[in-house]
A = this chain, B = another copy of it.
Amino acid sequence: MTEVRLLQGQHLKAACSNCSALEFCLPFGLNTQELERLDKLILQRFKVRKGAPLYRAGDPLRLLYAIRIGSFKTSVLSLDGREQVTGFQLPGEMLGLDAISADEHTCNAFALEDSEVCPIHFSQLEKLARELPALQHNLNRFLSREIVRDHDLLMMLGNMNSDERLAAFLLNLSQRLSMRGYSSSEFILKMRRDEIGSYLGLRLETICRGIAHLREQELVEIAGREVKVLNMHGLKQLVVGCHSAVLH
């Protein structure tokens, strides 16, 4: 009995403290005891197959999800079937924060590749957050960061032309990947052209043409889903000035 509890304890503790996404994720900055308490909230983590939904708009909010491995897209659908991709999420990022507003998911979340998530019971998370100020603050930050990201995207859709949007998208992805220990100059796109297009408020054909333009300028080499950034500085020049004055 005691042994089982110990094993469980070890297993649960291992969930977060062993996670490669720890430093970008909800438990960032928590001490060991705090981490253990958060770990206890995390039900068995599970896999989501490529293309499978994690949740859908209209589902009641019970769980939030932290991405452990893989990537997701979130989107909203209009009644007449238009899709707007609202984001692409990487390990350490949270899914489902929009659902807190009305206790109901407003987005659909789909895995872009075979992935793994840590489900967190939201009401228990709120309860624990009252006792762990660092956790409470992290949750607030995650929510707020989502707002800031959406503002960046709004700036792109409202004020940038198609090539600028595409360059900004690639740079953003590059930066987030490099933060996670991947190469910033060579990576694989997990999403289709039409999903990039929806995210950027463009048609998939426009994405293809944008890619062709970047290739002509010898800024990138893109073959299918494979991206190589040949001239990072030149790529940044395309969007310098478009970005919020606050960042960097």
Say whether A222 faces chain B, with CB atoms less than 8 Å apart: no
Residue of B nearest to A83 (CB): B159
Say whether A26 faces chain B, with CB atoms less than 8 Å apart: no
> Which residues of A approach B to under 8 Å, CB–CB?
57-58, 76-80, 82, 84, 86, 97-102, 104-107, 126-127, 129-131, 133, 136-137, 139-141, 143-148, 150-155, 157-159, 198, 201, 240-246
B241 contacts A155, CB within 8 Å? Answer: no
B145 contacts A82, CB within 8 Å? Answer: no
A84 contacts B155, CB within 8 Å? Answer: yes
A82 contacts B147, CB within 8 Å? Answer: no
Q: Of the candidates B98, B129, B137, B151, which one forms a contact with A76 in the assembled complex, judged by CB atoms under 8 Å apart?
A: B151
B151 contacts A84, CB within 8 Å? Answer: yes
Decide yes or no: A154 and B151 within 8 Å by CB, A137-B126, A140-B139, A144-B100 being known contacts: no
